[in-house]
Amino acid sequence: MRGLIQGRFWWSADRYVTVKINAIDLERKIAESELDIMQHISRSRLWPEGRHFVRSLLDSFRLQTAHGEHICLVFEPLREPLWILMRRFEDEVLPPQLIKIMLQMLLHALDFLHSDCHVIHADLKPDNVMVRLEDKSLLHKSALDEMKDPAPQKQCHDRTIYLSRNNFGHPGKITGIVSITDFGYAVRGDVPQHGPIQIELWDLMEGDSLFRAAKPMESKYDDEKHLAYITALLGPPPADLLARGRRTSMFCDQQGEPLRDNFSLKRGIFTCDTGKLNNPDLIPQDFSFQNSVNKVDGEDKKMFLTFVRRMLKWQPAERSTAKELLDDPWLGERPK
């Protein structure tokens, strides 16, 4: 939701802002968590380069309505998420050179979040990375367009719902500065965490997910297939890692006995002491890093795969940090 707000003091200029409002009580916990994380980030007194690529919280307030109390977060308006930007390119895939520049910004941002704020975003995907406005006058133009030609709307019994204006059209001049947004699922990294982390940035390069973990013709997530795909790329998971897992017993078969989960009776996907797949048929035989990359070739493909392998490791301690990845040869020189 974008809007024009009056300055708090008479000498403050009017400006456009984005207000994010949690819609229903079911989202309250997420909204409270995001507010806490954003306030925590705002309290950091450090100003490394990466801070410029993390969306800052300008203000917050609580709004009381007939449906209860809503948490409202105030942010700087941004142009569009990466999934809209991707639609402007051939095959809806960003060019590798643009990806390299954006990845450097994102890695700087993640280094700030991880090293200085001890925050893990946990939901980094094209929806939650947005491109900054190349010209803030676009906001005023959009407001005038709304006044002259209001967006479609429908009247409910207690409110009016408007169609979102989420597309400013093709950029009038070069843009590409990005910001990480939406910290609703973010967690603190300086205390133990056990929740899932979802990362979908592979989509930027290939326009598709690396791990096709959904069952054919269904949207339901298949955790067994997901684990099988990962194993196909990385080899068997280390036994000590399996031993530390909180849900290992759902997927490990130590004595060859069937395991029961909430949905069906099945055997474990792994043999615990070796990490070996019990059901290799879960993955295609031709699945590999090499066959999963089609948008680059030659030496660039080789360097890209080396870059990716630095992140995809079973053991967290073996994964390169965001700061270490910034020096990877595939990214090239840092932008001046």
CA distance 217 to 305: 30
How would residue 276 be classed by pLDDT, with cut points 50, 70 and 90? confident
User: pLDDT of 34-70, one tens digit each?
Assistant: 999 999 999 998 889 999 999 999 999 998 888 788 8
Per-residue b or e along 171-185, where b marks 16 or more CB atoms closer than 10 Å to that residue's CB: beeeeebbbbbbbbb
What is the rounded average pLDDT of the residues 171-194? 88
Backbone angles phi, psi at 279, to 5 degrees: -135, 80
What are the residue boundaries of the structural domains of the chain, listed by start? 2-209+293-331
Bridge partner residues of 179 (DSSP): 130
Q: Is the pLDDT of residue 127 over 80?
A: yes
User: pLDDT of 287-328, one tens digit each?
Assistant: 889 999 988 899 999 999 999 999 999 999 999 999 999 999
How would residue 254 be classed by pLDDT, with cut points 50, 70 and 90? low
For domain 2-209+293-331, give the CATH superfamily. Answer: Transferase(Phosphotransferase) domain 1 (1.10.510.10)
* DSSP tag of 286: T
Q: How many CB atoms lie within 10 A of CB 103?
A: 21
User: Which percentage of the chain shows pLDDT scores above 90?
Assistant: 39
Per-residue b or e along 242-261, where b marks 16 or more CB atoms closer than 10 Å to that residue's CB: beeeeebebbbbeeeeebee
CA distances (Å), 114 to each of 43, 97, 120, 195, 334, in order? 15, 26, 6, 17, 20
